[in-house]
Chain A
């Protein structure tokens, strides 16, 4: 067990004695060497909810999030010099806490000890424990000057080589035809990262998905996907320049937001986004990023970002209905998979040029920002003539503009954004975070996104996957009635003024979540989560009139995590799902799971084993399962029908510079003789997947 030892230093003694006294009073033991750390599990929970809400298991790549945390673990964040962006990067603090911390430093001078956080509104003992592994309290260091010598002297490189394959061959590999896969079933990823102090970083990512060709056929250049960037930071006038692939996110995400944007989760106070501005793109997602040049200038209290992007993206091409253009695009593809002839035809078939910018003014605890973005396509977007598409964008050029704000006053943090699209569609949202007492925090968020708000790069807080056609109000509460015991809950009410995919009428719904967690001792943690989600969907059987019927979906989960021995941790989960559409047969799902983590101190290897049994009546009552492992931090599955899943993962540190990780999974169905559908269908009831990764640091 690692303890944080309080070390008085010269510059502490010189200052206010009462703070030192206070700090000593609260210098409790900090144990941060648990096999699975709580803060990472908290991010897991958000990832899982995000997947559940968007129904996209494979599309997104969340490894970035953990990379940021890991980077802070190695190179702890100095709270005395951290900016609001740095602090929100941690993903563990909400905007109220961030603003209160910055205010505290502004008013009382630099922090003297981590324990001074206790005196700041909104910082419970629990949250301090969570962030301690990633932060430090240090002096304000002299800003280094930029020099080429230093860059190479302090530069660190990391090369990662990863491989994954499902051993059973699916239809796509066996049966020739238009939908057959042209390439081999391996997934191969090569990544390189260079980082020198905080000034220069560069990176390179290449990926070949399973079924894609490799150095042959249509992929003569080798990998299907290449991405790279060079980023230079400076603390003076030019704050940041990125050449290559980057992401841009501002305000609350109504105008411009690429990359992650978490919505509802049991972290009910974390509903305010804080746009990180421009940032290098290192993720594996092949679609949602910008490619070009982006810069940020800092001038007094202003920060000005500009970005320009020119890249090709995947789209389905159809004949154009207008006379000027011969071709048009009926939909933009998201998956980034290029395995079949059709998928290859869609590849890079739409050119998108994007430029935009943001001006942010910041003073003390107040900030206001203006964002504008223009998207230019070389072919007009021309969606299928279906009623639910009636208000979607059509044409070649779309322009968006928005204004966002955030400020704190006493124990409240106010935030919001208003945006318009060139067709006159609007979107706005406003919210408040409040710490009502040391043990109760409350959040509320109202949003109204018009049905014709059109933006290809927005990610506002929503129930929908897109930021349009939604009105809603959200209440969240977090309570700590006793120490070690916390309850969080949200209630979200929403309305969709227009039709949606699979919902043939305007509709409404609500979403309630209650989460209680109890830490029995440092080695036992229990949690119970319940979610009631109500919304409307089309009647299952289409008659003459295909109306909508309410669906209520209830999830109940119990989880326990405990140390069996100091090198062995157990995690069990029980989950029950109940899915009822009025006038139809209810569908139920059940899952029981056991995970064992083994990690002995001073030993170079760590192992995790998981065994899961599941049974669901159909796909509607599927259960999303996020499994923690030592391969990629986590893996997500959606289980349905009846069967089991066994997995093994291990990490072996060959030396300080070389880490080998492996993972093997077997999925077995009790009541099915084929797995998957379409070209992914595997005949047989078993699916085995193996993966391996080698990481060099130099």
Chain B
């Protein structure tokens, strides 16, 4: 074990503890990132991670990949993939994500099911298997974590969403009573026109101060999207391109001291006929 490696590991652990990254509920998707993680009321391919209730409002089956390199560091990479497919009464979603590198990693496997309770109201649940790996004999640990989300369309323009992550307060380790964080998010989005959506969200992690977030998406053309988002200390922006069934999204967030985090996402919308 070289000194360099162990110091890198220490740094990673430090960053993880500073940024509340231990077995966290990572927000996924470059659209979501560009909008300042205001996705609780949105419905898109990453709903399987961000609010499962959103899956119920999807019109097509789809699949997506996502990659992010936190503060430009390879060791802090996050890779994720998701897919969703509708059955008669609802929609299934599967998400896999992996954060970290060989010496430290957090992996998540989730399976979601969402069901529209009416044309304007939906509910979604997810069960995750969380797996943390720390090298050098610290070992591995896996736990089960549940999620539940709701979305309500108040009218054509206004949609509300709420999401509960780890409401069971699952324990990760007996030592210092370490638990997977419990997070509640509540938000809304409003479509000012077909081109402009504004999303607001408030997030409370059981350990941290509440966060207020806001995002805006503007489509100057049908297949081009410009986005920006703000929350305390961190802002983000990005853009998306839609080519037929393929959508490409780019975004970046900026932390005042740690710098840029670039993100890229790609998703594919399957034809309805193939369902």
B176 at the interface (CB under 8 A from A): no
What 0/1 readout, one digit per residue, does chain A (467-479) give for beta carbons within 8 Å of chain B? 0000001010101
Q: A437-B196, A477-B198 are in contact. List 19 more A-B contacts (CB 8 A).
A: A436-B193, A436-B195, A437-B192, A439-B193, A440-B192, A440-B193, A440-B198, A444-B228, A475-B230, A475-B235, A477-B216, A479-B198, A489-B214, A491-B214, A495-B256, A508-B257, A512-B230, A512-B232, A532-B232
What 0/1 readout, one digit per residue, does chain A (517-560) give for beta carbons within 8 Å of chain B? 00000000000000010000000000000000000000000000
B216's partner among A442, A481, A510 (CB-CB below 8 A) is A442
Least CB distance from B196 to A in Å reads: 5
Query: Which chain B residues lie closer than 8 Å to A437 at the CB level?
Result: 192-193, 195-196
B192's partner among A434, A436, A444, A532 (CB-CB below 8 A) is A436
B156 at the interface (CB under 8 A from A): no
B136 at the interface (CB under 8 A from A): no
Report the separation of the CA atoms of residues A438 and B193 in the bound assembly, to the nearest whole angstrom. Answer: 9
Query: Which chain B residues lie closer than 8 Å to A438 at the CB level?
Result: 193
Query: Which chain A residues lie closer than 8 Å to B235 at the CB level?
Result: 473, 475, 491, 493
* A479 and B218 contacting across the interface, CB-CB below 8 Å: no
Query: Which chain B residues lie closer than 8 Å to A489 at the CB level?
Result: 214
Report the separation of the CA atoms of residues A475 and B236 in the bound assembly, to the nearest whole angstrom. Answer: 11
| Interface hits, B245-267 → A, CB 8 Å | 254, 256-257
A436's partner among B190, B196, B232 (CB-CB below 8 A) is B196
Counting chain A CB atoms within 10 Å of each CB, which of B228, B230, B233, B235 scores highest? Answer: B230
What 0/1 readout, one digit per residue, does chain A (423-455) give for beta carbons within 8 Å of chain B? 000000000001011111010100000000000
Report the separation of the CA atoms of residues A434 and B217 in the bound assembly, to the nearest whole angstrom. Answer: 13
Least CB distance from B155 to A in Å reads: 12
Closest A residue to B232 by CB, please name it: A510
Instruction: Count chain B residues whose beta carbon lies closer than 8 angstroms to a beta carbon of A.
Output: 17
Chain B residues within CB distance 8 Å of chain A: 190, 192-193, 195-196, 198, 214, 216, 218, 228, 230, 232-233, 235, 254, 256-257
* A481 and B192 contacting across the interface, CB-CB below 8 Å: yes
Chain A residues within CB distance 8 Å of chain B: 434, 436-440, 442, 444, 473, 475, 477, 479, 481, 489, 491, 493, 495, 508, 510, 512, 532
Report the separation of the CA atoms of residues A491 and B254 in the bound assembly, to the nearest whole angstrom. Answer: 14
With known contacts A436-B218, A442-B218, A475-B228, A508–B193 Cβ distance under 8 A:
no
* A493 and B193 contacting across the interface, CB-CB below 8 Å: no
Query: Which chain B residues lie closer than 8 Å to A510 at the CB level?
Result: 232-233, 256
Report the separation of the CA atoms of residues A493 and B232 in the bound assembly, to the nearest whole angstrom. Answer: 9
Query: Which chain A residues lie closer than 8 Å to B257 at the CB level?
Result: 508
Report the separation of the CA atoms of residues A434 and B228 in the bound assembly, to the nearest whole angstrom. Answer: 13
Closest A residue to B235 by CB, please name it: A493
Query: Which chain B residues lie closer than 8 Å to A439 at the CB level?
Result: 192-193
Q: Nearest 9 CB-CB pairs, A to B?
A: A437-B193, A508-B256, A491-B230, A440-B192, A436-B196, A437-B196, A440-B196, A436-B218, A437-B192
Report the separation of the CA atoms of residues A438 and B198 in the bound assembly, to the nearest whole angstrom. Answer: 14
* A493 and B254 contacting across the interface, CB-CB below 8 Å: yes
Least CB distance from A271 to B in Å reads: 15
Query: Which chain A residues lie closer than 8 Å to B195 at the CB level?
Result: 436-437
Least CB distance from B199 to A in Å reads: 12
Least CB distance from A474 to B in Å reads: 10
Report the separation of the CA atoms of residues A127 and B218 in the bound assembly, to the nearest whole angstrom. Answer: 23
Report the separation of the CA atoms of residues A510 and B233 in the bound assembly, to the nearest whole angstrom. Answer: 7
Report the separation of the CA atoms of residues A371 and B200 in the bound assembly, to the nearest whole angstrom. Answer: 43
30 residue pairs A–B, Cβ–Cβ below 8 Å: A436-B192, A436-B193, A436-B195, A436-B196, A437-B192, A437-B193, A439-B192, A439-B193, A440-B192, A440-B193, A440-B196, A440-B198, A442-B216, A444-B228, A473-B235, A473-B254, A475-B228, A475-B230, A475-B235, A477-B198, A477-B216, A479-B192, A489-B214, A491-B230, A491-B235, A493-B233, A493-B254, A493-B256, A508-B256, A510-B232
* A481 and B190 contacting across the interface, CB-CB below 8 Å: yes
Least CB distance from A438 to B in Å reads: 8
Query: Which chain A residues lie closer than 8 Å to B232 at the CB level?
Result: 510, 512, 532
Report the separation of the CA atoms of residues A477 and B256 in the bound assembly, to the nearest whole angstrom. Answer: 22
Report the separation of the CA atoms of residues A442 and B228 in the bound assembly, to the nearest whole angstrom. Answer: 10
